[in-house]
Amino acid sequence: MSSSRFPAWLDPNKFADQQKVIDATLSIDYFERLREQLHSSKGEIHCKINGERDENSRKTSLHVAITGEVEMICQGCNEPFMQKLERQATLYPVYSEEQMKNVADDGEPVLVEDEGLDIKSAVEDEIMLSLPLIPLMEACEELDTYEVGDLPEVSEQEAEQDNPFAALKNLKLD
């Protein structure tokens, strides 16, 4: 069973037991926290969620696949550009902080509240984790300016010549 609607909350165990699938395309404005990190509401997010329950351990997992494009500001040239997003994650619903310690390394724990799992926030977190720390458009990524390495050596004389305040040291106040 597939759903094109995206719920804010769901019961992860029932979702997995019924083998439901959420397959939705969402506007950027649907995610308030994400929208604050972006230049505009331009773009959209496609999200697919499959639930699965291990028959032996009865542990539930939610497999999330996110793709899309969002508009960000390039930190190299300060121009807006469309950033492609792609992320896959496995979420393990837990009901206490103690259970978080026992989650498999191949996924992330998500706390289920009394109302159920806040799937909207969990997906929004995954989208935000897929954003680059320093957004750079393709042309700016190729510039040598952003390479990591040692700073060039500058002699003391060159440093003084380049100092914009060097002329002020000759001024005297009476």
The answer to whether residue 97 scores a pLDDT higher than 80 is yes
Q: Report the pLDDT value the prediction gives residue 1, as an integer from 0 to 100.
A: 39
Specify if 47 maps to a domain: yes
112 within some domain: yes
Entry pTM: 0.75
Q: How confident is the model at residue 26 (pLDDT cuts 50, 70, 90)?
A: very high
Q: For residue 83, tell me if it sits in a domain.
A: yes
- Residue at 100 is within a domain: yes
Q: Who's near 94: CB < 8 A, 6+ residues apart?
A: 100, 103, 109, 110, 111, 112
What residue ranges in the chain does DSSP mark as E strands?
A: 2-3, 21-27, 43-53, 60-73, 80-94, 108-111
Select the more confidently predicted residue: 136 or 150: 136
> Is position 162 within any domain?
no
85 is a domain residue: yes
Percent of the chain with pLDDT strictly greater than 70 = 86
Specify the number of domains making up the chain.
1
Task: Give the tens place of pLDDT for each residue, 28-62.
Answer: 999 999 999 999 999 999 999 999 988 887 888 99
Query: What's the angle, vertex CA 29, arms to CA 24 and CA 31, rounded to 5?
Result: 70
38: helix, coil or strand? coil
What pLDDT is recorded for position 2? 42
Range of the domain at 27: 2-146
Tell me if 174 is assigned to some domain: no
The answer to whether position 113 is within a domain reads yes
Res. 147: pLDDT tops 70: no
CA distance 36 to 41: 9
